[in-house]
Amino acid sequence: MKSPITTLLLLAASSLALRAQAPGVPIEEPGDQNGSAEMIAKASALREEGKLVDASRIKELIEKPVPEKIALPPAKSIPLSREGVYEFSRQSRVRVGWYFLCHKCNHWHTRLAGGYPLTEDGVIATCHHVVKPEDDMREGYLIVVDAGGNVTPVTSIIADNVELDICLLRASGGKFNAMALNDAVRPGDAAYCLSDPFGINGYFSEGMVNRFYRRPEGQGSPDERLRLHVSTDWAPGSSGSPVLDECGNVIGHVSTISAMSDPRNQAAGNPDQPRRGETQMVLHEASPARGVLQMIRTAAESFEHSTAEPVASSEPPREPEIPVVPSEEAPTESKDP
């Protein structure tokens, strides 16, 4: 016969096992590559109201963006717990991608990746390759979906850079939780990422900054070739998702993933020698926050040139400043990696 204490312990363990997650923690539903019925219904309503911009116009805007001056929030300086970074990521995250008709059926689909809001009024950053229209669409519209499942149309492209794999876009009609940028990070600093790899919703991973490097020559200017490797996990479907530091600042966003293998055959009689094609490590490449800041400066300069009246002056042009929202916290200084 079990003692009362033993019975209580068993009941407590059973209760914990049934609940599993802490109070308030969401249980993620299985991913749906074709999009939820609710999301597609919201996008369809916007299309019927004429609020969506089609793929042909998005393509034109990528080639000839409409620049704006962007007021950024300053970088945060107060560290968060891991749980705090996760909660901030979950509340602030957005997904960016296409609501479209394919060539195979008459049903509407969605193909979404990651992104992050730079302002409350809808300046969103993501990858160039996320917004680039694909040939598998016979009709398509670029949309942004926030953490609450609200669908917002992308109405303009502010700046785009293929080499940096960065696109700044304007989503009109929504309200977002702006995320600050920080380009003053070093190898060893924490790196967190919340994304949907292979449609696995809400996957949160922790790693660190591994190194800064430049991609090979012939792939843009030295500034455009700057990248960072982090050990945080992601996979296809994560593109454009923000990589955060311990304070919740964006230090870059997901760009590519590469499986590294040894091309040599396994040495005879040596089981420790890897076989040809066997993956030995995976490299996670992020487009840095510095590239986003560079594009914001360029957009501000282009905007000023496009709106300024011609004035005769002998003074040299000034480097445009990035306006910031006033805050009690001081922005983090930028330093070369």
Band of residue 294 on the pLDDT scale cut at 50, 70, 90: very high
- Using one digit for the tens of pLDDT, what is the confidence trace for 209-260? 999 999 987 778 999 999 999 999 999 999 999 999 999 999 999 999 988 8
Strands 203-214 and 250-261, bridge-based pairing = unpaired
Q: For residue 332, is pLDDT > 50?
A: no
Q: For residue 262, is pLDDT > 60?
A: yes
Going along the chain from its start, the domains and CATH numbers come out as: 37-265+274-295 (2.40.10.120)
The whole-number average pLDDT for the span 145-168 is 97
Q: For residue 29, is pLDDT > 80?
A: no
CA distances from 9 to 14, 15, 22, 170, 209 (A): 9, 10, 19, 55, 43
In this structure, of 65-79, 141-155, 186-200, 213-227, the range with the lowest mean pLDDT score is 213-227
Between CA 326 and CA 74 the distance in angstroms is 8
pLDDT score recorded for residue 26? 79
The whole-number average pLDDT for the span 195-204 is 93
Residue type (1 letter), 256: T
Q: Exposure pattern of 258-275 as b/e (b: 16+ CB <10 Å)?
A: eeeeeeeeeeeeeeeebe
Mean pLDDT of the chain, nearest integer: 85
Which single residue is written with the structure tokens 């296809």?
Answer: 236
Give the angle 191-221-163 at the CA atoms, nearest 5°. Answer: 60
Q: For residue 272, is pLDDT > 50?
A: yes
The whole-number average pLDDT for the span 169-183 is 97
Among 175, 177, 141, smallest CA distance to 45 is for 141
Q: For residue 337, is pLDDT > 60?
A: no
pLDDT score recorded for residue 95? 96
Top pLDDT among 49 and 330 is at: 49
- Using one digit for the tens of pLDDT, what is the confidence trace for 76-94? 999 999 999 999 999 999 9
Give the angle 108-195-224 at the CA atoms, nearest 5°. Answer: 100
Residue type (1 letter), 261: S
Among 241, 336, 321, 333, smallest CA distance to 72 is for 321
Top pLDDT among 58 and 323 is at: 58
Between CA 153 and CA 143 the distance in angstroms is 5
Between CA 282 and CA 260 the distance in angstroms is 6
DSSP element (H, E) containing 91: helix 82-92
pLDDT score recorded for residue 34? 57
Between CA 115 and CA 294 the distance in angstroms is 18
Q: For residue 271, is pLDDT > 60?
A: no
- Using one digit for the tens of pLDDT, what is the confidence trace for 33-76? 557 889 999 999 999 999 999 999 999 999 999 999 999 999 99
pLDDT score recorded for residue 217? 76
Report whether 169 contacts 142 (CB < 8 A): yes
Beta-strand runs (E) in the chain: 94-102, 108-117, 123-126, 137-146, 151-161, 166-171, 190-195, 203-214, 226-230, 242-244, 250-261, 279-288
Which single residue is written with the structure tokens 């519209």?
Answer: 141
Q: For residue 273, is pLDDT > 90?
A: no
- The fraction of the chain above a pLDDT of 70, given in percent, is 80
The whole-number average pLDDT for the span 101-127 is 96
The pTM assigned to this predicted structure is 0.82
